[in-house]
Structure 1
Amino acid sequence: MSASLALSLAGPLNAQQTRDLRSDPEASITVTGTRLTREQARERAVEFVRQIGVARGQQAAARWIDPVCPRVRGITERYAGVVEARMRAIATEVGMRVAPEGCRSNVSVSFVGDAEALMREIDRRSPTRLREVPVDARDALVNGDAPVRWWYLTGTRSRHATRETSQYLVTESGGAGGPGQSVASSPFETEALSHYDSSVISTQVNRAIVDANVVIDLDRVEGMSLEAIAAYAAFVAFVEVRTSDPRAPGSILGLFSTDPEGRSLTDWDMTFLRSLYRLPLDRPARRHRGMLVRDMVNAQTPG
């Protein structure tokens, strides 16, 4: 697919969008919603968090701890820069750490002509890249027809945000090594975390997103604005969205529904992101869900 065709399929930008994206990459990207009662806000917040799938079941929420470095491929350099700038602006606005230009990419956004073919090739050649995709979501990711697909790799850090330390076990065949050493005789290894204190509240560990991949099917996003696509890509790259067909109320995630509620990040989206990036990660999943809902309700019903 030619660069010019890719650019046209990315969606036309109107004059105002172009000015916003070029002259002020950190311009406000939120919209104001209808004022709700506290009970209505709570019901909506609970459904929002449930639909996204963050802190599902017993698994605590994950987020980026390292600075994010988005890289966009598959469209012209000019428009790739627009998407990267918008993603960086969103990350900065919600309190994420952002790596400087020229960094090593850990967020990959790929515009492709046939996303299904690409995903099947990845699944065939490098299935371990999809190892953290839930079993019930893998078929939709690989063989589905979603306009945008995504997946993550996560890691575990100590509550002090230090990286995990590998500890190798001595096997019956003998031999042991330290981090960075190869031990051919050891058929297995485990990882341990160093803890410096104890707490009846803390889980002692943080789940971190360490790599995110977003694949955008050019044919299926035709007619969409580049700003909307960039906002959608940012949300699914910065949040561990655990479903391939999210329907969170009042969210950019409804962009591809028959009656989308927003074509940029909504105030609900931004409130959720800010809350997620303030959370103490070393808490059980149920507390994370409660904190997210509380913050969203408070933001929607001030005073």
Structure 2
Amino acid sequence: MKKLTICSAVALCLSAAAPLLAQDTDPAEEVIIVTGEREQEAMERVEGMTRAITRRPRVDKPVARQYGQICVGVMGMDPAYAGVLIDRIEANARRLDIAIAGEGCQVNTLVAFVDDGPEEVKQLRKEAPWLFSTLLDYEYDRILRGSGGAHAWHSTEEREVDGKQLAVIEVGDPPRQVKAGDPFNATRMTQQIRMDMIGSVVLMERALVPGKTLQQLADYASMRSFASIDDMASDGPDTTPTILSLFLDADAAPQEMTEFDWAYLEALYRLPRTARGEQIHDAAWSEYRKKVIRAKD
């Protein structure tokens, strides 16, 4: 059994959830025109959605992602359903080459079903401040954005590009502690650090679970766990299908992660480790174009 030690404080806030309900023209000319229009429209949709969901990383910091092994835990759900959810999340992780920890691991990727997400977040900040210790104030504030159906955040750690821990040194007078990498690897042209996700939490509103499938819930949790993104807010763009709309319009939400969702995640995990946040915009479109547009040509 996997130990939920990373979120032991969370356990005090959660309880078991109820079961899930579960004119004639030249043909060649027409094809060229339609294809061109489709590609331009698709690019605008994908870029619009990418900009809407991507959380900007800190200034001068690379985009964060999962580099180490993940250990998935589910709370507030019947164990039988939770097992299915975990299996699906782990399968999605493997597709991105994210490693899965073995049995007995300590949970660092938590999905929990709660009665009042905003209140749970505020209470956890008081009772388990270590869950938010790496967040700046604006990063905490954006946890509460979105549809209101779920709230997610990550703990991150700055490391050398090869994964080594940064050294802590003292500089200045009076002295203060700062993190520093290997000076022999540092250059003025390349940022020799990466941002590791070392923990993720996704809280979902229990009252909004009925009517949604385990597949939908697992895929939504995967998106929020593997990338620093927002879900769809009521005033957000309606540009291209995404599982992130699950709590915005359940009837219209896709049954699983869409071509856009996979293009976004695969682009993110193929970027260089030192990639800045804005690089995801072009990368997501390139991946989507390869998957969808070229496949239809």
Mapping 1:51-66, distance limit 5 Å? 51-55=52-56, 58=59, 59-66=61-68
Cα distance in 2 for residues equivalent to 1:255 and 1:244: 8
Q: Residue 228 of structure 2: SS of its match in structure 1? A: coil
Distance in 2 of aligned mates of 1:290 and 1:197: 28
Which amino acid in the other structure matches residue 196 of structure 2? A
SS at match of 1:65: coil
Unaligned 5+ runs, structure 2 = 1-13, 23-34
2:210 aligned with 1:209, yes or no? no
Give the count of matched residue pairs.
264
Q: What residue number does 1:254 align with?
A: 245
* 1:199-238 matches, cutoff 5 A: 202-238=190-226
The answer on 1:285 being equivalent to 2:287 is no
Contact 2:152-2:224 at 8 Å conserved across structures:
yes
Match of 1:70 in 2: 72
Q: TM-score, normalised by structure 2?
A: 0.76
8 A contact 2:62–2:193 mirrored in 1: no
Query: Residue 71 of structure 2 contacts residue 106 of structure 2 at CA under 8 Å; is this kept in 1?
Result: yes
Normalised to the residue count of structure 1, the TM-score between the two structures is 0.75
5 Å-filtered alignment, 1:44-55, equals: 44-55=45-56
Counterpart CA distance in 2 for 1:93 and 1:191 is 33
Contact 1:148 1:217 in 2 (8 A): yes
Query: Residues 107-146 of structure 1: CA distance to partner in whole angstroms, max 9, x if unpaired?
Result: 1111223333322311333445335556457457469982
8 Å CA contact 1:255, 1:261 repeated in 2: yes
Partner of 1:180: none
Structure with bigger RCO (C-alpha 8 Å, 6+ apart): 1
Q: Partner of 2:292 in structure 1?
A: 300
Q: Any idea what the Cα deviations from partners look like across 1:220-271, whole Å, max 9, x if unmatched?
A: 2222112211111111011111467365731100112236341311111112
Q: Does 1:12 align with 2:3?
A: no
Higher mean displacement: 111-120 or 213-222 = 111-120
Say whether the 8 Å CA contact 2:220–2:244 is kept in structure 1: yes
| Cα distance in 1, alignment partners of residues 281 and 147 from structure 2 | 30
The question of whether the paired residues in 2 share the 8 Å contact of 1:94 and 1:270 is answered with no
Which is worse superposed, 97-106 or 192-201?
192-201
Letter in 2 for 1:12: L
Larger mean CA deviation between 87-96 and 260-269 belongs to 260-269
* Letter of the 2:41 counterpart: Q
Is contact 1:54–1:61 with CA below 8 Å preserved after alignment? no
- Deviation by residue 1:134-192 (Cα, 9 ceiling, x = unmatched): 645745746998221111111112122222223355976xxxxxxxxxxxxx8x52211
Segments of structure 1 that go 5 or more residues without pairing to the other structure are 14-34, 173-185
Counterpart code for 2:49: F
Q: Is the 8 A contact 1:152 1:209 kept in 2?
A: yes
Helix, strand or coil at the partner of 1:295: helix
Contact 1:252 1:265 in 2 (8 A): yes
2:123 to 102, 121, 142: 121
In the aligned structure 2, how far is the partner of 1:133 from the partner of 1:165? 20
In the aligned structure 2, how far is the partner of 1:262 from the partner of 1:145? 16
What is the identity percentage for the equivalent residue pairs of Structure 1 and Structure 2? 22
Is the 2:160–2:193 Cα contact (8 Å) retained in structure 1? yes
In structure 2, C-alpha distance between the alignment counterparts of 1:91 and 1:143, rounded to whole Å? 25
